[in-house]
């Protein structure tokens, strides 16, 4: 057996020069036979498989992003706009802050006071209402913050027209949230003191609220005495700070931005092999990053790219392909569907509402599908072969990224980003082992998670 004759290779070699088989068509036929003869067990795709198969992940991302954004807007903007305006940086420090300030009559009467405020304010006696254990200490020229768990009516006597302010109590079950009414020294407050409140609560409010109120009163009485001057923040200082912030905002100098952010991007991709003819593709995805300050941040994400490219045969180095005498590759057309995981450093050249930034980093490519069509000439015989591959390869940190972009803040909603980029291959990519260079333009929307 296996006695070789001088012309056996010759016959076989001759036959191999026959036109290439239509492998895709033959495989379709074969697959039908296999489905009949060797059926596969139907496996239910997992959640991710289903999401990817139905491309619902994009929709899901948008829905989740929108929900998260809405929640953030709601959480950060839950108080009234006026109260928001009065909120100052450093509000968490109860010693020098009236966290939510209502220093002008124009502000809404309902103000949220923290436990710290109660703690600081409760023991401070006032000439006006020293007997009221729940009365917060007087601040700045006759202004008194008073805790009022029940609807409170405050009348201002020194106004030309007596005005009654009815303030709804905030029964939210949270001890730290106590409505506060604003009155002056010329004001006769009808606010009940702590004992009266407790008594009233016994009669008209649920037992839980009465117990809570008593506990608050007890806590306030037990709290250490604090110098009122330590928590006093005069109107002039507040006004000065407000003016300073307004001026800074007007000049475009925003407070330091620090923290995580997320966003969605999409754009146009132009790819070529070794700076040859460019073909149009696209990309889209989500990004996430962390800003260390107004200048520096790091970014990553997951992008879904579709890259098309055309090249002559010079860069074609597919595995298993051996150049042969008489064989010339005329043209290679490729299409790749790629998951890209970038890791970039971002630097804001110009910081402010309008930003000019640059990024640099590397990307990992996970090629999900690749289609390659090869036009060739073999001893004068022109042919074409096309193959489609799935789950082709993973190329870790294989592409260098550079971009120069512009972003503009869109109020509290986030910022819009326009980012021209270039991606240079650090190694050969895909089935054809070709160096695919990409450039393009991404447009994105970024939201700080603060």
Partner 1 sequence: MPFFKSTLSEHDLVHGCRRNDRRAQEQLYKQYCGALLVLCRSYTRNEEDAVEVLQDGFLKIFQQIDRFDRSKSALFTWMRTIMVRTAIDALRRRGQQAAAVEWTEDYEPSIDAAVLERMTAQQVLFLLQRLPETTRAVFNLYVTEGYTHKEIGILLSISEGTSKWHLSEARKSLTHSLKAKERA
**Which residues of this protein are in contact with partner 1, per CB under 8 A?**
1-8, 10-12, 14-18, 20-21, 23-24, 26-27, 29-31, 33-34, 37-38, 40-41, 318-322, 327, 372, 374, 376, 378, 383, 385, 387, 389-393, 431
Is the Cα dihedral 199, 204, 207, 211 positive or negative?
negative
Token readout for 423 is: 């991606």
* In contact, 155 and 190? CB cutoff 8 Å: yes
Nearest of 341, 400, 406 to residue 368 by alpha carbon: 341
- Torsions phi, psi for 409 (to 5 deg): -75, 135
Q: Helix (H, G, I), strand (E, B), or coil: what is residue 368? A: strand
Which of 4, 250 has the CB closer to partner 1?
A: 4
Which residues lie closer than 8 Å to 91 by C-beta, 6 or more apart? Answer: 97, 99, 100
Which of 92, 390 has the CB closer to partner 1?
A: 390
Q: How far is 71 from 75, CA to CA, in rounded Å?
A: 6
Which of 389, 402 has the CB closer to partner 1?
A: 389
User: For residue 160, what is the DSSP state?
Assistant: S
Which of 22, 172 has the CB closer to partner 1?
A: 22
Which of 163, 314 has the CB closer to partner 1?
A: 314
- For the bound state, the minimum distance from the C-beta of residue 345 to partner 1, rounded and expressed in Å, comes to 33
- For the bound state, the minimum distance from the C-beta of residue 331 to partner 1, rounded and expressed in Å, comes to 13
Helices (H), 80-181: 81-86, 115-121
Which of 15, 162 has the CB closer to partner 1?
A: 15
- Torsions phi, psi for 210 (to 5 deg): -60, -45
Helix/strand/coil (H/E/C) assignment for every residue in 212-252: HHHHHHHHHHHCCCCCHHHHCCCHHHHHHHHHHHHHHHHCC
- For the bound state, the minimum distance from the C-beta of residue 304 to partner 1, rounded and expressed in Å, comes to 20
- For the bound state, the minimum distance from the C-beta of residue 446 to partner 1, rounded and expressed in Å, comes to 37
Helix/strand/coil (H/E/C) assignment for every residue in 175-203: CCCCCEEEECCCEEECCCCHHHHHHHHHH
Q: How far is 298 from 294, CA to CA, in rounded Å?
A: 12
- For the bound state, the minimum distance from the C-beta of residue 306 to partner 1, rounded and expressed in Å, comes to 19
Give the orientation angle of helix 207-222 with respect to helix 194-204, to 10 degrees.
170
- For the bound state, the minimum distance from the C-beta of residue 305 to partner 1, rounded and expressed in Å, comes to 19
Which of 339, 406 has the CB closer to partner 1?
A: 339
- For the bound state, the minimum distance from the C-beta of residue 311 to partner 1, rounded and expressed in Å, comes to 14
- For the bound state, the minimum distance from the C-beta of residue 342 to partner 1, rounded and expressed in Å, comes to 24
Q: Helix (H, G, I), strand (E, B), or coil: what is residue 320? A: coil
Which of 11, 73 has the CB closer to partner 1?
A: 11
Which of 23, 314 has the CB closer to partner 1?
A: 23
Nearest of 305, 351, 318 to residue 430 by alpha carbon: 318
Q: How far is 90 from 368, CA to CA, in rounded Å?
A: 49
Which of 31, 239 has the CB closer to partner 1?
A: 31
Token readout for 135 is: 């009365």
- For the bound state, the minimum distance from the C-beta of residue 8 to partner 1, rounded and expressed in Å, comes to 5
- For the bound state, the minimum distance from the C-beta of residue 324 to partner 1, rounded and expressed in Å, comes to 9
Pairing between β-strand 180-183 and β-strand 164-167 as defined by DSSP bridges: unpaired
- For the bound state, the minimum distance from the C-beta of residue 314 to partner 1, rounded and expressed in Å, comes to 15
Which residues lie closer than 8 Å to 24 by C-beta, 6 or more apart? Answer: 386, 387, 388
Q: How far is 98 from 104, CA to CA, in rounded Å?
A: 13
Nearest of 363, 299, 265, 286 to residue 57 by alpha carbon: 286
Place of tokens 């990992």: 364
Which of 24, 227 has the CB closer to partner 1?
A: 24
């Amino acid at each position: 057996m296996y006695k070789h004759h001088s012309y056996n290779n010759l016959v076989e070699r001759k036959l191999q020069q026959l036109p290439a088989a239509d492998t895709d068509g033959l495989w379709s036929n074969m697959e039908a036979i296999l489905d009949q003869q060797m059926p596969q067990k139907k496996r239910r795709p997992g959640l991710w498989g289903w999401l990817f198969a139905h491309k619902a992940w994009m929709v899901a991302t948008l829905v989740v992003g929108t929900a998260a954004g809405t929640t953030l807007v709601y959480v950060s903007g839950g108080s009234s706009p006026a109260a928001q305006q009065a909120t100052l940086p450093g509000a968490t420090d109860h010693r020098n802050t009236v966290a939510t300030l209502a220093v002008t009559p124009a502000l809404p009467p309902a103000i949220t006071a923290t436990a710290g405020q109660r703690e600081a304010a409760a023991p401070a006696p006032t000439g006006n209402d020293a007997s009221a254990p729940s009365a917060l200490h007087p601040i700045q020229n006759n202004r008194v913050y008073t805790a009022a768990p029940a609807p409170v009516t405050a009348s201002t006597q020194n106004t030309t027209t007596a005005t009654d302010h009815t303030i709804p109590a905030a029964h939210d079950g949270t001890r730290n949230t106590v409505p506060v009414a604003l009155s002056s020294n010329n004001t006769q407050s009808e606010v009940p003191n702590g004992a009266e409140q407790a008594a009233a609560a016994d009669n008209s409010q649920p037992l839980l609220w009465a117990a809570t109120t008593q506990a608050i009163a007890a806590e306030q009485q037990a709290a250490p005495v604090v110098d009122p001057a330590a928590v006093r923040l005069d109107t002039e200082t507040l006004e000065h700070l407000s003016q300073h912030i307004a001026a800074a905002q007007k000049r475009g100098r925003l407070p330091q931005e620090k923290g995580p952010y997320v966003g969605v991007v999409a754009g146009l991709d132009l790819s070529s092999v070794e700076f040859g003819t460019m073909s149009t593709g696209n990309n889209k995805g989500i990004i996430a990053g962390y800003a260390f300050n107004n200048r520096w941040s790091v970014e990553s994400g997951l992008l879904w790219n579709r890259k098309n490219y055309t090249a002559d045969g010079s860069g074609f180095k597919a595995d298993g392909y051996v150049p042969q005498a008489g064989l010339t590759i005329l043209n290679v057309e490729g299409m790749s569907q790629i998951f890209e995981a970038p890791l970039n450093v971002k630097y804001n050249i110009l910081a402010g509402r309008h930003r000019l930034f640059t990024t640099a980093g590397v990307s990992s490519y996970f090629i999900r599908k690749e289609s390659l069509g090869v036009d060739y000439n073999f001893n004068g015989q022109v042919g074409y072969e096309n193959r489609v591959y799935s789950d082709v390869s993973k190329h870790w940190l294989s592409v260098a990224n550079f971009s120069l972009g512009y972003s503009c803040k869109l109020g509290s909603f986030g910022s819009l980003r326009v980012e021209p980029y270039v991606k240079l291959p650090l190694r050969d990519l895909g089935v054809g082992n070709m160096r695919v260079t990409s450039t393009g333009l991404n447009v994105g929307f970024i939201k700080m998670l603060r």
